[in-house]
Amino acid sequence: MSFVVSEETRPLLADVREGREDVDNHGATNSKQTEKRKPTPLPKVQIGILMLLHLAEPITSNCIFPFINQLVSELDITGGDEKKVGYYAGMIESIFFATEALFVFQWSRLSDHIGRKPVLLVGVGGLAISMVCFGLSKTFLSLVVSRSLVGMLNGNTGVMKSMMGELTDSTNIAQGFASIPVAWATGATIGPLIGGQLAKPHDRWPNLFSHPFWIKYPYFLPCGTAAAFSAILTRPVVTSIINYGVLALIEIGFIALMPLFFSTPIELGGLGLSPPTIGLILGSLGLLDGIFQALFFAKAVDVLGPKRTFQLGLSTFVPLYALFPVMSLYAKAHGVDNVIWGLVFVQMALIVVMDLSFGAIFIFITSSVPSNRSLGAVNGVAQFVASVMRAFGPAASTSLFATSLERNWLGGYAVYVFLIVAAFTLFFASTVLPLELWPRHEPQEESS
């Protein structure tokens, strides 16, 4: 059958043919464009940091495997029945993933509301603290609690996958997610090596690890090493919080010791002051401190910078504690006279200078936060650490005071030697702080 094309239909047919060619050419062009579209380059720095954080989980979860069975046997958890070692060891190994399963969803949801970085920060901090506790555990219950905390505080698994999705697009998402199992495999390799090689260091390197601590806690070194790995990504935050925690410990120790020293009879090493007099001294101190901070803190930071201001405050602890035995010895010889009151005033003046260090360390804690969205979490952790130290400090300093008197350590003055050594330790810890502030790098998605 043949068709005759009239002159009227010939232009219409030509238009149809041209339309088909346009469609074909357009489809071919789209296909070529799709084929030629190159993958978006991955943000290597951000993903590198993310994978470094991801290493912490397999390292902490796997480092105990080489020594957990021996640890269970040595703690006599099984009551001497070696057949039960596997039962208890398996419970300890499983509890990490069980508690992680219970809490990872909540951490992931929380990260949608407060941001990814605060949750990651809590996660790696939790891993570090929990592993230290595990290395110091001497009972089955403490092992279970420590291991539960490792999983409970580790919400990083889901959050990291969310961040990977945010850092990639359709052209490079496969490449990005391919790095996650690589990081896990690397951590799963490093973890057992740490656990196997560093367990019982006293037996392997007796000359280097000769302190009784390593005999009492033979598995602390691998746990501490795993904890240190978790803490090093967050070094500015950890360094700042450690300084704040030790400062709070030494300061509250002094605050608790001061009224005890004032009230203790002269013959026992104090000043024998009455409660009204002690109240007047402490009340005056509070008023003087508030006025001094308001007038001089900002000026001190402007002139000295935050680090030197912090260290200026720390340097007062040595004379602060040294004045206690000086006043005690003078009062035993001459009683409480104007010299004693002059020394009390000097001590009060030193205290208000010492208090400069608190404002300075708050500046370091704030500048250590990698993002404003992490600020609340970091300040919460810092305050938690300081509160724990302040709960421990008064009992520690006053107990040392009583023990020094009871056992006549250094004539009853050993407590001040201990606290002066602690002050020197804190000053040494402050040397790792930057001269000005920690550099802050706001993420691109938050600064835009």
Q: Would you say residue 20 has pLDDT above 70? A: no
**Is 6 domain-assigned?**
no
**Using alpha carbons only, what angle is made at residue 110 by residues 228 and 162, rounded to the nearest 5 degrees?**
75
For residue 9, the model assigns a pLDDT of 43
Q: Last residue of a domain, which of 211, 232, 253?
A: 232
Q: Give the residue with greater pLDDT, 429 vs 298.
A: 298
Residue 139, class by beta-carbon neighbours within 10 Å (0-12 exposed, 13-18 middle, 19+ buried)? exposed
- One domain, residues 100 and 122: yes
Average pLDDT over residues 9-13: 43
For residue 323, the model assigns a pLDDT of 96
Joined together, the tokens standing for residue 178 give 């391919």
d(CA 186, CA 293): 50
Q: Last residue of a domain, which of 170, 205, 232?
A: 232
Q: Would you say residue 281 has pLDDT above 70? A: yes
Cα torsion for 91, 96, 100, 103, to the nearest 10°?
A: 80
- One domain, residues 246 and 306: yes
Q: Which of 44, 46, 40 has its CA nearest to residue 444?
A: 46
**Is 27 domain-assigned?**
no
For residue 8, the model assigns a pLDDT of 44
- One domain, residues 240 and 386: yes
Of the chain, the end-to-end C-alpha distance in Å amounts to 69
**Is 119 domain-assigned?**
yes
Mean pLDDT of the chain: 82
Contacts of residue 41, defined as CB under 8 A and 6 or more positions apart, other chains included, come to: 172
The boundaries of the domain holding residue 78 are 44-232
Q: Would you say residue 192 has pLDDT above 80? A: yes
d(CA 331, CA 351): 21
d(CA 168, CA 125): 26
**Is 330 domain-assigned?**
yes
- One domain, residues 167 and 104: yes
- One domain, residues 322 and 431: yes
Q: Would you say residue 16 has pLDDT above 80? A: no
- One domain, residues 324 and 353: yes
DSSP states along 91-110: HHHHHHHHHHHHHHHHHHHH
Q: Would you say residue 254 has pLDDT above 80? A: yes
Number of domains within the chain:
2
Least confident of 45-59, 165-179, 352-366: 45-59
For residue 278, the model assigns a pLDDT of 94
List pLDDT tens digits, range 123-140.
887 888 888 889 888 888
CATH of the domain at 372: 1.20.1250.20
**Is 1 domain-assigned?**
no
Q: Last residue of a domain, which of 192, 215, 232?
A: 232
For residue 373, the model assigns a pLDDT of 61
**Is 38 domain-assigned?**
no
For residue 90, the model assigns a pLDDT of 87
- One domain, residues 316 and 250: yes
- One domain, residues 277 and 222: no
Q: Give the residue with greater pLDDT, 113 vs 286.
A: 286
Length of the chain: 448
- One domain, residues 329 and 357: yes
Average pLDDT over residues 71-80: 78
Q: Give the residue with greater pLDDT, 297 vs 33.
A: 297
Q: Would you say residue 77 has pLDDT above 80? A: no
Region for 305 from its dihedrals, namely left if φ exceeds 0, alpha if ψ lies in -120 to 50, beta otherwise: left
**Is 39 domain-assigned?**
no
Amino acid identity of residue 267, one-letter, is E
List pLDDT tens digits, range 90-120.
888 888 888 888 888 888 888 888 777 777 7
List pLDDT tens digits, range 319-329.
999 999 999 99
For residue 23, the model assigns a pLDDT of 44
CA distances from 113 to 118, 283, 447 (A): 10, 44, 18
**Is 245 domain-assigned?**
yes
For residue 187, the model assigns a pLDDT of 86
Q: Would you say residue 435 has pLDDT above 60? A: yes
- One domain, residues 226 and 258: no
- One domain, residues 188 and 243: no
- One domain, residues 242 and 203: no
